[in-house]
Structure 1
Amino acid sequence: MGPVREFSSPAPTGSNTPHLALDAKGQVLLSWTQRRPDSTVAIQMSTWNGTAWDSVRTIADNRQFFVNWADFPAITALGNGDLAAHWLEREGDKKYAYGVRVVRSSDGGRTWGAPITPHTDGLLAEHGFVSLWPEGESDIGLVWLDGRKSAMADSTKEMTIRAASVSTTGVLSREALLDARTCDCCQTGTTATRSGRILVYRDRSAEEIRDIAIVRQTATGWTESKKVHNDDWHYPGCPVNGPQAAAVGDTVVVAWFTAAHDTARVNIARSVDGGATFGPPLRIDDGDPIGRVDVVLDDAANPVVVWLEQRSPTEAEVLARKIVGNSLGESRVLSRTSGARQSGFPRLVRDGNDVVAAWTSVNPLQVHIARFSLSQTSPR
């Protein structure tokens, strides 16, 4: 990794929950939640054109948003160059009754179409922790945690994970139940391998074991759920700390947080067969991790992982580290921050031979951006 260089952020004071992606031209996309002085909220975005951020564009405004530090909007580019984004919107008066809204833009985010709701249960329950991806030339693929069982009188109330596709005309297809019992509030992560798309998430057993699981999309549908590794983390609650994954060809790296056996750690595990099997985990943190991971790979499938590390009762650091084989590079401090919920989840995206990182400062609340090289040279 090269030196870390923070550069200007298009997101002003009051911004948080950053998400990064690349558009069809390979330009970096940043989305975030903007809290205005009058207490209203907007979902906004900007594009890095190679030398500067374009003007800020609003994805959604003046809606009954469900705003959450861990369950936040995202943006992605589709196969035909369109953009897709999502947010959460309140449904009814219950505190945790909200749904997913998905929108599409055909003009680089200047305007957005009517929102689509991908879940059809119509129940006042939790629907969130979405992962979006391009499916085919123009469809939107997505998965989400679906709490419809909590609204069913005769149900055992488990959280589920479901998938669907949305066409250019808003038609839903390929609806599927992927897992009938999952952790309630951990992020999902997805990436595309040569063999097909994979999804990673935190599972939940009847014995309250909350380890990381994977399902793979094949020509005939989604595979059965399988653990990435048997951490055996017994935790009778939700840690709000989901996994992320990245792939080059059929080499996959999954990064995740666990506190199995009362030891907090950030692990990675590798697969060379598209996620069908994984090698043993490798611990990559500095000794006292909070978690909140993200991961990208270089051309040789060496991962760069970002996470939060506790440094004192009131201070944390956003750290990044490159791993080659089982050799841990030096951890690099992207920023000092707080371990509080407001500091959110740092995000990464690869931009050529560089990595772009985004995170949230707490005082003042604002999204920050930095760039560093995958090699030892200085970032551009």
Structure 2
Amino acid sequence: MQSIPRFLAGALLAFAATVALAHEGHDHGAMAGKAAAKPQLATTAAFDKAGRLWVTWAEGQHVVIASSDDLGKTFSRPQRVNPQPEPIYTDGENRPKVIASPDGALYVSWSRPLDAPYTGFVRFSRSLDGGTTWSAPITVHHDRQPITHRFDSIAVDSAGHIFITWIDKRDLLRAQAAKQPYDGAAVYYTVSTDRGATFAPERKVIDQTCECCRIALAPDADGHMLALWRNVFAGQIRDHALATLPIDNTPLTVTRATFSEWRVDACPHHGPALAVTADGVRHMAWFSVLQDKPGLFYSRLSADGKPIGGAWSFAGSAQAGAQASHPALLAADGALWLVWKQFAEDRMQILLRKSTDGGTHWTAPASIANTDGGSDHPQLLARDGHVYLSWRTQAEGYRLIDVSNVALSNPSLEASK
């Protein structure tokens, strides 16, 4: 691998942000091919089974990927995943993503805007040779109507099965044609059992979901893939729902996962985070509004889908003057790690909490990174007993920060009983 010194790698990432195209879709009605009004920072990272770091983002109309063998100190030259240019969604919740399979394969997905606002196709490419070459991109869904197929999420289970989920509006069109009411969109997914060579016909999880919130994916203790998304319950209640995604035609069961009763006829563009511990407990972090006060909340479901205690406000309304957003959760080495963005002291900060007893008690928040300019959402990664914050900012570029040894207070703050 040809390496580039860290300061040059940061410059490459910053340059990529400057020239990237924005397709903000939901909030701004951007059309395919519109030039960015601001630098795009949307970046996703993953460790492969050999411990190599892979980072993907968009440069103009190309998804690019670079690797690092020294934890982000130097990077390979960015490689184009899609040789032929195409528009790419790069807003915060809708971005290129990379995952690594236990068998060594690398997979990348993204959403491609079409000509009309809010429309798109979900795209996929794979590398079976350690990132040396990438397959020609394909559209993973059989439905090719020029409608919303966007906000993709991708994950792989322990058996190497690839799951891709997205927000889809084909059922909204059917309801409109039949003059029937329909709120929001639907969640669909597809599965590949042959390392991305083919994908099964897509399957609907549920109707009437939020239109522009990311879908969180995580395997459970038995290796089954779980999906968590913001749903639209009766009366425009925008809480979350959870389901196990089978690889076959096993019937789907959807469970209500959060109970904040936030009533809003709009999409907050703010999806949840999900992690599953060895005991099967589902740990969730999410944004909501209670009593007209926005905040971030943590809650748990047992392996059979029953709430464990109540929701706990870990940031936002419980923190005076805080502007908290976009949490990330990770279960690693018997502990839970929770980070989020929070604007305080005139800068954007990343705050960290940790639980070593399955989410019952948490340490007090610790600031682990900050920036004075624009920034991406945080991501947590694990490798060789260490936990890392993956974060890209406009001023500092891409950063991989080892948070494993951050000084934290004793875990005495009780989240829920």
1:270·1:278 contact (CA, 8 Å) conserved in 2? yes
Q: In the alignment, what sits opposite 2:14?
A: 13
Q: In the alignment, what sits opposite 2:20?
A: none
1:20·1:348 contact (CA, 8 Å) conserved in 2? no
1:110 CA drift (Å): 2.2
Structure 1 residue 357 corresponds to structure 2 residue 389: yes
Q: 1:182 to 1:110 in 2, by over 3 A?
A: same
Deviations 1:64-90 (A, max 9, x none): 223323211111122431111011212
2:368·2:403 contact (CA, 8 Å) conserved in 1? no
244, 255, 262: which one aligns with 1:216: 244
| Higher deviation after alignment, 64-73 or 364-373 | 364-373
2:349·2:367 contact (CA, 8 Å) conserved in 1? yes
1:310·1:317 contact (CA, 8 Å) conserved in 2? yes
Q: In the alignment, what sits opposite 2:288?
A: 258
Q: In the alignment, what sits opposite 2:127?
A: 105
RMSD: 2.7
Distance 1:169 1:212 in 2: 29
Q: In the alignment, what sits opposite 2:207?
A: 180
2:126·2:196 contact (CA, 8 Å) conserved in 1? no
Q: In the alignment, what sits opposite 2:378?
A: 346
Structure 1 segments (4+ residues) deviating >6 Å:
none
Q: How many residues align?
A: 359
148, 153, 156: which one aligns with 2:170: 148
57, 60, 73: which one aligns with 1:32: 57
Distance 2:196 2:350 in 1: 41
1:298·1:374 contact (CA, 8 Å) conserved in 2? no
Q: In the alignment, what sits opposite 1:309?
A: 342
1:135·1:165 contact (CA, 8 Å) conserved in 2? no
190, 194, 210: which one aligns with 2:221: 194
Distance 1:367 1:177 in 2: 36
Distance 1:220 1:123 in 2: 24
1:289·1:307 contact (CA, 8 Å) conserved in 2? no
Q: In the alignment, what sits opposite 2:332?
A: 298
Q: In the alignment, what sits opposite 2:413?
A: none
Q: Match for 1:209: what amino acid?
A: I
Q: Match for 1:317: what amino acid?
A: Q
Q: 1:71 to 1:214 in 2, by over 3 A?
A: same
Distance 1:137 1:298 in 2: 19
Question: For structure 2, which runs of at least 5 residues remain unmatched after alignment?
Answer: 1-5, 18-40, 409-417
SS in 2 for 1:186: coil
Question: For structure 1, which runs of at least 5 residues remain unmatched after alignment?
Answer: 1-6, 35-39
Distance 2:337 2:160 in 1: 30
1:216·1:222 contact (CA, 8 Å) conserved in 2? no
Distance 2:161 2:138 in 1: 13
1:18 CA drift (Å): 1.7
2:257·2:301 contact (CA, 8 Å) conserved in 1? no
Deviations 1:264-306 (A, max 9, x none): 2222223442x62231222222612432111112322x32111
1:263 CA drift (Å): 2.3
Distance 1:168 1:146 in 2: 24
2:90·2:96 contact (CA, 8 Å) conserved in 1? no
Structure-to-structure mapping, 1:1-380, within 5 angstroms: 12-14=13-15, 15=17, 16-34=41-59, 40-50=60-70, 52-55=73-76, 56-61=78-83, 62-91=85-114, 93-135=115-157, 137-152=159-174, 153-154=176-177, 156=182, 158-166=184-192, 167-168=194-195, 170-173=197-200, 175-195=202-222, 196-218=224-246, 221=250, 223-249=252-278, 250-273=280-303, 276-279=305-308, 280-285=310-315, 287=319, 288-300=322-334, 302-311=335-344, 315-325=347-357, 326-337=360-371, 343-362=375-394, 364=395, 366-373=397-404
Q: Match for 1:42: what amino acid?
A: H
1:97 CA drift (Å): 1.8
Q: 1:182 to 1:338 in 2, by over 3 A?
A: farther
Q: 1:157 to 1:247 in 2, by over 3 A?
A: closer
1:131 CA drift (Å): 1.7
Q: 1:210 to 1:374 in 2, by over 3 A?
A: farther
Distance 2:301 2:405 in 1: 21
Q: Match for 1:127: what amino acid?
A: H
1:216 CA drift (Å): 1.4
1:343 CA drift (Å): 2.8
Distance 1:29 1:162 in 2: 27
Greater relative contact order structure (CA < 8 Å, 6+ sep): 1
Q: 1:352 to 1:278 in 2, by over 3 A?
A: farther
2:315·2:324 contact (CA, 8 Å) conserved in 1? no
Q: Match for 2:44: what amino acid?
A: H
2:110·2:123 contact (CA, 8 Å) conserved in 1? yes
1:149·1:158 contact (CA, 8 Å) conserved in 2? no
Q: 1:232 to 1:293 in 2, by over 3 A?
A: same
Bigger strand share = 1
Q: Match for 1:33: what amino acid?
A: A
1:165 CA drift (Å): 1.4
